[in-house]
Every structure is written in C-alpha cells, then in structure tokens.
Structure 1
C-alpha cells in the first residue's frame, strides 16, 4: 500500500521561494529513505503551495515541520486539514528522538572545541511568543532535557519575541554553545539570532537550523514509519 505525507512549514512570507525550495529538498531526502511512500513539501507562506501539494499527493498525512505545538499547528494547519479530511501529525519539535539527536550534535561540537559538557553552558535560542506560552515552554523543556542527558553546567533559553530576550541570555561568562531551536533558515535564524548573539558578544559555537542537520530526514522518516505501523 502506498502512503503519502506532506511536510509543512511556515516559510517566509516576504520571500517564500527559497524556503519553499528548501522544504521540497527536505521532502526529497525523506522520500529517499521511505520506499513505497510519496513525500511532498510545502510552506504556508507560498500561495497555493499547500493545496497544490495535497492535490498531487491525494490525501496525505500532514507532518508539521514546526518546533512546538503552537498557533500554526493547532489552529492554522488544523483548519486547513479538517475540511479535507487530512490527519495532522505531531510536530517535528516533539519527536522523542530529537533530544538524543541533538545530544549527538552537541557532543560533536564540544569535541571539536575540547570542552567537557560539565564545564559548558548550553544556550537554546528560540522563537518565543507574545501571545502563547507553548514556544517558550518547549525551549525550556528542551534545554532541561539536554542538560539532564549531557550534564551541562547550565542550560538556559533566550527568545526572539519575548523575555528573556536572546541578547540578554547570551551574555554568558565562560564557555558556552548555542543550539538554535529553529526548523528553517528563514528570517529569525538568518538575521535576529546572529544579531542578538553579536550584541551579547557571544563567542561560542552555534549549531545550524534543523533543516541542515544530517539526522533530520531520518528522524522524520522514522516517525512516519512508526506512526504508519501503529495506524
């Protein structure tokens, strides 16, 4: 039986095409790991992309490529999917294996610097929100889980859209590493995060957005396979 899934992200309303292309590339990498599946990618910011992808795939599962259960996953995507009878899965940021994957990436970065985790502060750079607690709570939970997993000296979060702002949290004395909790290389990741870190004088390593992690396609593929097996 052929299954299909549509990976959906927010994208960049001011310049939708680069993120639309990046998501289609991610979908292709996921599809290469799932023989017998049809995998598509679309951003909400690209006009008509979601509807065109749904029509092409013929009733796919909707996989939210978002970092938290927030406004876009619980309201915007749900309202788009419900009239079409589409199933919306849990978002990427809630994947159980994400903490382990992040721990491996952080360990590689620490090894390159020769830093023990117990002497290092972990900074999670996240979106935050002026209207919802979900984004901030997700980042704090992620920081706490990684501290417990790896034994960082401290783990904290800083936000783009709510206090404590990233430019404040990033004023860290001693060695520190930053993990941005962003799915795509869109505006916040390309502009707000580097600007805030520069303002704070943050000098430690900064990991890439999750779309550039080599583990990301496998995480999504494994999630889809697991949910198909239990369906």
Structure 2
C-alpha cells in the first residue's frame, strides 16, 4: 500500500495506521453507493482541532442519506484530503463562494490526487440557511430570558481585506433573516473588516449570531473579545441542528441532477 501524506502534528489521524479505515469520516455505506465529502477550512496551525467536528457532521449527513458514503475533511489536514479517492461530490462547508471555494479547494484536492469531483454551492449560499438562523437566534434569546421583539440581533461574519464575497454573503444572510427572526433590529459586524464587531455593539438587550461554518478560533476567541459580554452568543450557524439536513438535501439534488444529465 502506498503510504499517505505525513500525519499533521496534533491530528487525530496520528492514531490511524495503514490498515485502519480512512481517518476522515464514517464512510461506512456500501462500496457501490454514492460517495461525497463535506470539506471545511480547518485550522492550519492546529490541523486536528476541527477534524472531529467535521467527522461528526459527516456522520449526521450519512444518517440522512442511506446507502451513501459521506466523508469529513479539512483543507488543513492533508491526510484527510488524500483519503477522498472515489468521492464524486464535495460540499464546501464554507460561508462564501470566494477564493477558497473557487480556487484553493480545487487546487488542494488536485495536489492530494483527488480529481473528477464536482463542488456544490457552499453552506453560506443555501436558501434555507436564513430560516435556520432565525430559529437559532430566537432560541438563544429565549434561553437567556430575552424577548427578541425588544432586542437587537447582531450577525457577525468573517469579512476580508481582500475580497468582497465574505461581507456580501453575510449581509445577504442578515437581510433575508431579518423579516422572519422577530428581532427589533438586525445589525452586521465583522472580524476582519469594518464595521468591526466591537464597533456595532448595541445598547440594550442583544444576541450575537456567528455567521461561521465551524467553531474555530474566530468563534472561540475573536468574537467573545469583540462582543464584550453584551449578551448571549449563539453557536456558529454551521454547527447547529438543521445544517445536516440542508447538506443532505444539497447532495441529493446534485446527484439527481448528475444522473439526469447522463
């Protein structure tokens, strides 16, 4: 057997051996079933940190797609990418359809020897995401004893100093969410471009909704620092209940489209 890439320091792949199952998701469906992957960014400085999270999500999606084989991988973990041979569809677990999805993901997959795959639209563009975000925001407010009708919801996105895509998709999400969320106001702030989160803190009751796919350092460190204890912080939208169903629906539709095209 040809050895895979070197194991990233601190990655759970370190426990895998050449005889083990691929260390990047359940992939327990029959070998003849459709194979797909959920691909997140991950943390380059700590490749193993988010691998369990994306694997757990892959298991949830696979439970909704009997007969499929669903892998979980991150760009930060070379070994998880190398294990995607046979995958036909890749779901970008990203919020924006920007450089990472359009350019870097295909490049990293090619370097790992993964060719002939088709990428779906990323999570952030899913038309069902605003309704899910509204539910998450209201539940977070309710758990803190806050009436959404008297509170401000602040959607915080990544932002970028190089691309407009991250800010644009965050604003579009907030705009679509506002009419159904039931909050008195919905504002938007960012981590890496103005208006920064710390500059849009409202007066009075407030809830923060991170427009992020995973629970990386921006979520665990930067958002709490910028939010300054203003009110409850919801879990990042990409980690919440309901996301697995959105992903499963996207993969199912993509495979049906592929079949109809011959």
Instruction: Return the TM-score normalized by structure 2.
Output: 0.80
Contact 1:81/1:88 (8 A) holds in 2: no
1:117 to 148, 153, 169: 148
CA-CA distance at 1:114 after TM superposition: 4.8
Contact 1:7/1:23 (8 A) holds in 2: yes
> Which string of whole-angstrom CA distances, capped at 9 and with x for unpartnered residues, describes residues 115-138 of structure 1?
443322110111100000010111
1:17-96 aligned within 5 A: 17-50=48-81, 52-55=82-85, 58-81=86-109, 84-96=115-127
1:204 equivalent to 2:231? Answer yes
Instruction: Return the TM-score normalized by structure 1.
Output: 0.90
- Pair 1:197–1:33, CA change in 2 (3 A): same
State the aligned residue count. 224
1:218 equivalent to 2:249? Answer no
Q: Which residue of 2 aligns with 1:102?
A: 133
Q: Which residue of 1 aligns with 2:17?
A: none
CA RMSD of aligned residues (A): 1.8
Cα distance between partner residues in 1 of 2:193 and 2:96: 16
Consecutive unaligned residues in structure 1, runs of 5 or more: none
CA-CA distance at 1:47 after TM superposition: 2.4
- Pair 1:214–1:38, CA change in 2 (3 A): same
Q: Give the structure with the higher percent helix.
A: 1
1:194 equivalent to 2:224? Answer yes
Contact 1:8/1:41 (8 A) holds in 2: yes
Q: Give the match's secondary structure for 1:16.
A: coil
Consecutive unaligned residues in structure 2, runs of 5 or more: 1-31
Cα distance between partner residues in 2 of 1:189 and 1:26: 18
